[in-house]
Chain A
Amino acid sequence: MGMTMTQKILANAAGLPEVKAGQLIMAKLDLVLGNDITSPVAIKEMDKMKVNGVFDKDKIALVPDHFAPNKDIKSAEHCKCVREFARRNKITNYFEMGEMGIEHALLPEKGLTVPGDVIIGADSHTCTYGALGAFSTGVGSTDMAAGMATGEAWFKVPSAIKFNLIGKPSKWVSGKDVILHIIGLIGVDGALYRSMEFTGPGVAELSMDDRFTIANMAIEAGGKNGIFPVDEKTVQYLNEHATRDYKVFEADPDAEYDEEITIDLSSLRPTVSFPHLPENTHTIDEIHDMQPILIDQVVIGSCTNGRIDDLRIAAKVLEGHKKTKDMRLIIIPATQAIYMQAMEEGLIKTFIEAGAVVSTPTCGPCLGGYMGVLAAGERCVSTTNRNFVGRMGHVDSEVYLASPAVAAASAITGKISCPCELGL
């Protein structure tokens, strides 16, 4: 029996000719990642271990991004702990404020994640790098500590669901709508413990930024990882970014899948997840038939949708418009390079003229940290990834997950809207 793409990568990293679903393996790691929330716990654990420093100073990435720039004294202490650890261990890929970005946008941009890699990160959205044909998955701080110390991690080899993408997305339908549709279809535990392998002719219709968004939210369906095949667009991206050689893996033609699901991209509509689970999805047409859902805040950014394509789409919608009077529109480019590019392309000017707050990269509002915390009874349309109870602030606030196009249109109308309602 053949292997899935994920299984082939894991077999290679474990030095085995073959692996099967359910098998426990020890795999070599190409990158271990942590942020300012999870790394301090990992550092504390590593200090308890009887080891001499890290396994490889070039294969660890530390990115203070969640509560950075420091939101309060305790966060400052966490960032300091990470900074001092990086200095002590001469970590090559420590990204200080001003050089940093949201980890899952930053690392591919810096060329640190390439096809065939096995990557663990103490952040659940580590699954993002599957867009490049890598196996990457979120772990906790203790696993991160063990990974930093030994360069290895144990895995249970996952089985997989194959998503056969066909067709071409219509106007205003993006990667975000694809993944929200899929989560609505299979549920927040629909891919629990399993890989989500995206394949089919529809993949070629998706930009790299679309693919990052889709792989990023595999965790929201419970998935262990999400992964895309390497094609011309991937190679072009890697030619511009990769800092090292890579190995391309493909699923065997006779690979075994638990399930195969065909998604016709041409049939998808802009999709919104209602509170308080990403699986509570409605199309924009269904929303059109409901009572208007009035909103107080719009956030465009995060590891899910803070990339240049996302900002370009938002700017296209916002161009020549203004947000409604009482709306708070917060736009956060995911990295310094994206911020700079958005500035050069005039997108930042469009945002500010539309009445937006534009911030330095941070995860801040996505997890209710800072830079956009919600009060009781407030509603936010956000391009982020989770809409759990209290995720963005008060336990009685609400988050609606949507694409940058829908988020931008909603800021202009004051209710959840499609750009088509603006004649776009």
Chain B
Amino acid sequence: MNAKGRVFKYGDNVDTDVIIPARYLNSSDPAELATHCMEDIDTEFVKKVQKGDIIVADKNFGCGSSREHAPIAIKASGVSCVIAETFARIFYRNSINIGLPIIECPEAAKAIEAGDEVEVDFDSGVITDVTKGLSFQGQAFPEFMQKIIASEGLVNYINSKN
């Protein structure tokens, strides 16, 4: 499994309130949530994001609330992967559970810049910055997590096993 796309770059402590502000949580429709994704930190994101694009950020990405609407909004906006130095734990769990691939790699988070073309190989955990010609070793997904992501989330994965 691979992801490839252009990078949107953010800093430390990107919280779930800026990923999807609570004023839009009266909806749980992924497509509607996606239209407000990252709105309070980057008004250009929704206008510019294309299918396959990648978010790269520094530490503690997804901190704050447990709203699953946050990874849902990111996934529904077309983002194929989030790379960060570290993730807040509830966001990490939620992302895997809904089938949004996320990967921790401090070196990649530091070196990759906005607009770079980046490729991620989920089997090996290798992250390649095609623009810069650099490669980084991120944490590879264990097999069960890959299967959850490939099934588009935990529920489908559980159903496919039964």
Contacts and interface: CB of A to CB of B under 8 A. Distances in A.
Interface in B11-27: 13, 15, 17-18, 21-23, 25-27
Contact of B23 (A40, A45, A48, A368): A368
Q: Interface size for chain A: under 10, 10 to 19, 20 to 34, or 35 or more residues?
A: 35 or more
Chain B interface residue number, banded: 35 or more
B22 A41 contact: no
Nearest to B18: A389
Given A138-B66, A386-B64, A78 B155 contact: no
Contacts, number: 127
B90 A140 contact: yes
Interface in A104-132: 121-124, 126
Contacts of B15: 386, 388-389
A29 to B, nearest CB: 15
Interface string A380-406: 000000101111010100000000000
A242 interface: no
A330 B154 CA distance: 41
Interface in A70-88: 71-72, 74-75, 78
B110 interface: no
A277 to B, nearest CB: 6
Contacts of A391: 17, 22
B6 interface: no
A124 B40 contact: no
Contact of B28 (A44, A121, A138, A142): A44
Nearest to B24: A74
B63 A390 contact: no
B65 interface: yes
Contact of A139 (B13, B26, B66): B66
A369 B65 CA distance: 14
Contact of B26 (A48, A72, A122): A72
A332 B130 CA distance: 53
A67 B27 CA distance: 12
A277 B86 contact: no
A136 interface: no
B41 interface: yes
Greatest chain A CB density within 10 A among B22, B27, B59, B71 is at B22
A192 interface: yes
A367 B21 CA distance: 9
Nearest to B22: A367
Q: Top 8 nearest A-B pairs by Cβ distance?
A: A140-B94, A74-B26, A140-B68, A142-B97, A367-B22, A189-B60, A390-B40, A124-B66
25 contacts: A38-B67, A44-B28, A48-B156, A71-B26, A74-B26, A74-B27, A78-B26, A124-B65, A126-B66, A138-B90, A139-B94, A140-B67, A140-B90, A140-B94, A140-B97, A142-B94, A142-B153, A143-B94, A192-B88, A222-B60, A367-B22, A373-B23, A388-B18, A389-B17, A389-B41
Interface of B: 13, 15, 17-18, 21-23, 25-28, 40-41, 59-60, 63-69, 71-72, 86, 88-90, 93-94, 97-98, 153-156, 158-159, 162
